[in-house]
Structure 1
Amino acid sequence: MTPGGAGVAQRHPDPADVLARHLRARATEFLRALRLNRGAATPEDSAEAARALRRAARRISAGLYTFQPALDPAWSQRLGPELAWVSGTLSQEDACTTRLTRLQDALHHLSGPAAPTPPSARRSMPSTSGVPLPADTTPPEAPRPAASVSGTPAPARATGALPAAPRRAPTATATVPAPDGRRAVAPRPEGGSGAAPGRVPLAVGAAKAAALLERQLTLARTRAHSAALQALGSARFHAVADQVAVLASEVPLAGRAANLELWPLAEAARERLVDAVAALPLVTAGSPYNAEALVHGLSPDPAPHPQDAPWHQVRLLLRLHRYAQEVLDPAAGGDPRLRAAGEALDRHRDAAEAAAAAAQAARTPRIAPATAYALGVLHAGQRHEVEAARYAFQRAWQQPHADTT
């Protein structure tokens, strides 16, 4: 009887102990990430530590929200919003970086695939400071600067300065923003220094659109970085860290937690998700193209797209559902159906935010028509990405559950 009783105890652990162990483990991850952030030697280490802080903060906050009846109400209602503030503040810098990279890639994709450069053209390409230039950088009738004996280009005045128009040929000298904020020379077809495979130099409108997006999103990223540093050094964050340190050793449970089952609370989170998904226009999302999504695209109102809010809410509820499943069963987070649905909603969020950034840039006063056109095409492309993500979510959500035979 004793072995059998021990087996039953192992299969049915105390619910309060399961929740407490989960929260203590997440609190330990939060404190470990905080130590890594304070001792980071490089920006990459600091960024990775910030992501770990966000992950731990999200899971603790989700646990406090979903399983609130099992926890001390005053404590959980005070700490949960503070952890959401930490996660939201630390996510802004990464969001700006992702948005800028996504829009850059889209501009290059819209510019078409890179065409192979003929070998004869490669041989005719002079070098400026060791960086090869395309053969069509200067029109044939314009003189090129002569190179010195040492191979270093001579000053333009020694051979006659180039006229202003040829020196500003847009397809060769325009620069595009790099994801890390540095300016990089537009990729060359021949794959030389600084080139990226499969890309071509941007045309006039696209290059100016890229420069405008770089200025706006780099400024937003800098502000987000400053806000994150300020938040991490604030008394508010220190108070949150102190509460998480207490949580790592002791979880304030409610008096009735010992007699409270966790699975009904997790089931309530699932039902909220199912109800929110049922309210989505999945019939419209069943088609990969939705013309209604472009109606509010470039309107003067900078408010978020009216179709996006329900999908963003489903993304949050799906995350709460996944995190609740992880409390009951740590392996439940690997459900391929939920993972595919979550990835589709992440793409939906990224594309919607990128489209909003393109629309905001298009509202800049006194921009050239070619720039406005490029931003409009970019916005339309991102809205189509939104629709594709909704279609992917609809396909993933209708797949059978992992435990269905």
Structure 2
Amino acid sequence: MAQQHLDPTDPMAGAMTGDALAGYLRAQATEFLRALRLHRETGGDGGAPARSKSRAAGNGSGESVDAARALRRSARRISASLHTFRPLLDPDWSETIRPELAWLSGTLAMEHAYAARLERLLLALHRLSGAPVFPAQAGIALTTGASTADAAADGDSASTACAATPAGGAGTQSAAHTDSPSGTASDTSDAAAGGRATGAAPGGTGPASRPAPTAERGNLTVGAAKAGALLERQLTLARTRAHSTALQALGSSRFHAVADTIALLASEVPLTPAAATADLRPLAAAAEERLTDAVAALPLVTAGHPYNAAALIHGLSPDPAPHPQDAPWHQVRLLLRLHRYAREVLHGDDTQVDVRLLATGQALDRHRDASEAAAAAAQAARTPRIAPATAYALGVLHADQRHEVEAARFAFQQSWQPQTVGTP
């Protein structure tokens, strides 16, 4: 286990040897096995009948999502520690298990990512157009979307997004089959929804006191419903495939080999002979230095401006490649995670909360989510034979998400201070 700090006022005091790393890896391996058992009990293999009867409806699904999230969290921490402190670990074992943990974490994360992306885009469409995203939802109280967003903020985005936009629902099919340049029924429904959203008086007594929307707002309202239906079809299909891939992965021999390795790690950590006397702090400092260098290479001056037209131009181009401006920021996000996990290895449960690292991490998470949402909107806009109003709504949605990217970069630039990263 980690040794006690000699000086309680200096968290870096004392010798941090391989014992601290071994204790951290054993603890994370134990968490991994506990989450795996919970996942199998609640959703991985159907669960026990007695447990199913004792749960409220839908609670087992939520516990299964939490278990999958715990699996990803433990896998990320073990993989990051193997990367940061690899000179102190058996090289063959480390280089074999680390890619497998990355594969597992990425596979389990895709379903949640697609569900959260769909939820984000639908809420953005509603905010931009001021009308229900789907024509069939015009009679539903708008507070339903707010309650869904609150539930997603509590951490169950995948289940709430699925409940809010069921695959194959009547509203989805109605909008899906009318998304054509010559569609008339959907246009009429969209126009009616736009009239209700922009303040038409009930009972056909004429417009309300609010001013009439501009032509651009009207076009956005007309296309928002069909754009939402198109995004729902594409992202729900991707989420379904990701769910099937995750289930296949958890039942594969590859995953069982990873679980067996983690089970051995919970009892024995393959350290090198030099790890008994080696100090962990230089390796953790190297991770901090890599983060600082990557941040120094970011265009923080550009991030200080509220508008970045080059980002919008590239995102709407026919090239479906990832945005070139986003890659350095994604790399900083990964390096920030490595630095945070290295701090956990050094200090264990006594790790002090670094407000700056917390704020910058949240800003980079927002950046990643908005960037991927913008890419999804641009990909949907490239769908052949869609109505002009649908393409217009998707273009506005893409621009909105790219503005969110710029806002996240600005928030990161404001949170990042010139002081030492490791200082809380």
TM-score using structure 1 length: 0.76
Aligned-partner Cα distance in 1 for 2:374–2:128: 15
1:22 counterpart letter in structure 2: Y
Aligned-partner Cα distance in 1 for 2:398–2:5: 59
Contact 1:71 1:253 in 2 (8 A): yes
Contact 2:190 2:223 in 1 (8 A): no
Match of 1:276 among 294, 298, 322: 294
Shift, 1:399, TM fit: 6.2
Match of 1:347 among 366, 369, 374: 366
Residue pairs, 1:21-36, within 5 angstroms: 21-36=23-38
Aligned-partner Cα distance in 1 for 2:351–2:258: 29
Residue pairs, 1:54-203, within 5 angstroms: 54-112=72-130, 168-171=188-191, 203=221
Contact 1:325 1:333 in 2 (8 A): no
1:60 counterpart letter in structure 2: I
- The verdict on how the C-alpha distance between 1:269 and 1:382 changes in structure 2, with shifts beyond 3 A counting, is same
Deviations 1:74-121 (A, max 9, x none): 11111111101110000000110111011011101102389xxxxxxx
Aligned-partner Cα distance in 1 for 2:337–2:16: 25
- The verdict on how the C-alpha distance between 1:370 and 1:113 changes in structure 2, with shifts beyond 3 A counting, is closer
Aligned-partner Cα distance in 2 for 1:7–1:361: 54
Contact 1:18 1:328 in 2 (8 A): yes
- The verdict on how the C-alpha distance between 1:13 and 1:295 changes in structure 2, with shifts beyond 3 A counting, is same
- The verdict on how the C-alpha distance between 1:402 and 1:73 changes in structure 2, with shifts beyond 3 A counting, is closer
Gap regions ≥5 residues in structure 1: 1-5, 115-127, 135-163, 175-185, 190-200
Aligned-partner Cα distance in 2 for 1:207–1:327: 49
What is the root-mean-square deviation of aligned Cα atoms in Å?
3.0
Aligned-partner Cα distance in 2 for 1:251–1:223: 36
Match of 1:312 among 320, 330, 334: 330
Aligned-partner Cα distance in 2 for 1:85–1:165: 46
Give the match for residue 395 of structure 2.
376
The share of aligned pairs that are identical, in percent, is 68
Q: Does 1:264 align with 2:282?
A: yes
Shift, 1:401, TM fit: 5.3
Aligned-partner Cα distance in 2 for 1:403–1:87: 26
Contact 1:59 1:323 in 2 (8 A): yes
Contact 2:111 2:242 in 1 (8 A): yes
Aligned-partner Cα distance in 1 for 2:186–2:34: 57
Aligned-partner Cα distance in 2 for 1:289–1:83: 38
Deviations 1:299-348 (A, max 9, x none): 11100011011110010001001100111113436211001000000000
Structure possessing the higher radius of gyration over alpha carbons: 1
Match of 1:20 among 22, 27, 31: 22
Give the match for residue 42 of structure 2.
40
2:35 counterpart letter in structure 1: A
Shift, 1:203, TM fit: 2.8
Give the match for residue 146 of structure 1.
none
Q: How many pairs does the alignment contain?
A: 334
Aligned-partner Cα distance in 1 for 2:21–2:357: 22
Match of 2:414 among 362, 377, 395: 395
Shift, 1:289, TM fit: 1.8
Q: Does 1:224 align with 2:242?
A: yes
- The verdict on how the C-alpha distance between 1:82 and 1:216 changes in structure 2, with shifts beyond 3 A counting, is same
- The verdict on how the C-alpha distance between 1:170 and 1:269 changes in structure 2, with shifts beyond 3 A counting, is same
Contact 1:326 1:333 in 2 (8 A): no
Contact 1:282 1:394 in 2 (8 A): yes
Aligned-partner Cα distance in 2 for 1:272–1:95: 27
Q: Does 1:49 align with 2:51?
A: no
